[in-house]
Amino acid sequence: MHTVGFVVFPQFQVMGLSSVSVFEVANQLLGAPDYEITLLSESGGTIRTTSGFRLDTEAFGRRTFDTVIIGAGLTVNPSTPGLLDFVRFSAIHSRRIASLCLGTFVLAEAGVLAGRHATTHWMQARQLQANYPDIKVDDDRIFVVDGNIWTGAGMAASIDLALALVEKDHGLELAQGVARQLVVHHRRAGGQSQFSALLDLKPTSDRIQKAIEYASAHLKHALSVDELAEAADLSPRHFSRAFRAETGRSPAKAVESIRVEAARMMMERGRHPMDVIARETGFIDRERMRRAFLRTLGQPPQHVRRAARAEGD
């Protein structure tokens, strides 16, 4: 049996508890209670969440868990000595310890992330790096695994991290079954970006949205302004002005971001040759794809591929 200690504290943000559903469904599909979940807090008893309701918890004690997961609040606050001691104890005695979102700051404060790679919510990544320069902060990752320490990004990434834990324990098939049961994507790779080019564009009109959807579905096309304008049923001149006004970008820059995101996903989800990825996403050749990656991500495609392969090992 895998015992999972889920650590909460006053003003805990409840979305992180969505990860518990992953273990619950895994038990259901396994037909046995393989994961035993215990809500923990420093003193035990009821803990008030940011939503106002309370959770029943057990005190830390000196229990050893197979997996310890540190939850998070909505802001970064100093941890109590008791919480830090429990984190240090768990980092040594548990098979693995994980943090969700701003819970990474708790691990950092406890000193267990020194010299390691870690991630957190992208909005606080710079603060984490500034406060703890000895941590290698990967600010554009859904989750990061370094040894026995797992760190997750924003709260929604708690499901991705939990699915990865289940996959590590029981294999891909079970994790996929859990994802289907929960009606979520199986699973975003840890190396996948926290950002989405499509969400970042945020068009306000149906016509510009239609052009963006057209571009995403026809990446092999040249996707010139004339072609996109026709998809939006606008004149090229009107389309270019409207597109920049609504998204803050030129059509060409937006298309490049969409191509880069699509290429990155292909690298993370499979082992296609770089030439194939460049062709399938409309870059035509590897060199054009490389230059686009450097402009958009600040790193070459080979870096993304290496990170994805390292996660899968």
Tell me: do 178 and 264 sit in the same domain: no
pLDDT of residue 272: 87
Q: Give the DSSP H/E element, type plus range, for residue 291.
A: helix 286-296
Q: Does residue 189 fall inside a structural domain?
A: no
152 and 202: one domain? Answer: no
Residues in the chain, overall count = 313
Query: For residues 8 and 45, what is the distance between their CA atoms, to the nearest angstrom?
Result: 11
CATH, residue 253 = 1.10.10.60
* Judgement on whether residues 143 and 224 belong to the same structural domain of the protein: no
The residue out of 149, 182, 215 marking a domain boundary is 182
Express each pLDDT in 93-143 by its tens digit: 999 999 999 999 999 999 999 999 999 988 898 899 999 999 999 877 788
Do 173 and 279 lie in one domain? The reply is: no
Below-50 pLDDT ranges, the chain: 190-192
pLDDT value at residue 43: 94
DSSP 106-144: HHHHHTTTTTSEE---GGGHHHHHHH-TTSEE-TT-SEE
Q: What ranges in 220-270 are assigned the alpha helix state H? A: 225-232, 236-247, 251-269
Task: Note the pLDDT of residue 224.
Answer: 96
Are residues 23 and 150 both part of a single domain?
yes
Tell me if 137 is assigned to some domain.
yes
Torsion sign across C-alpha atoms 259, 275, 217, 311: negative
Q: Please give the pLDDT value at position 196.
A: 58
Q: Of 209, 211, 189, which Cα lies nearest the Cα of 264?
A: 189
Residues 173 and 230 in one domain: no
Task: Tell me, yes or no, whether 190 lies in a domain.
Answer: no
> Do 213 and 72 share a structural domain?
no
Residue 187 domain-assigned (yes or no): no
| Within a domain: 192 | no
109 contact partners, CB below 8 Å, separation of at least 6? 78, 79, 84
Please check whether residues 143 and 205 belong to one and the same domain: no
pLDDT at 199 (0 to 100):
58
Structure tokens at 218: 């026809």
pLDDT for position 82: 96
Residues 139 and 221 occupy one common structural domain: no
Same domain membership, residue 178 and residue 91: yes
Are 17 and 165 found together in one domain? yes
Residue after which a domain boundary falls, among 137, 152, 182: 182
- 182 sits in which H/E element: helix 172-182
Widest CA span in the chain:
70
Q: What is the pLDDT of residue 251?
A: 95
Backbone dihedral region of 88: left (phi > 0), alpha (psi from -120 to 50 degrees) or beta? alpha
CATH number at residue 120: 3.40.50.880
pLDDT at residue 223, as a whole number: 96
Domain that holds residue 24: 2-182
Q: Which of 122, 148, 182 is the last residue of a domain?
A: 182
Q: What is the DSSP letter of 11?
A: T
Q: What is residue 44's predicted lDDT score, i.e. its pLDDT?
A: 95
Residue 191: inside a domain, yes or no?
no
| Total of domains in the chain | 2
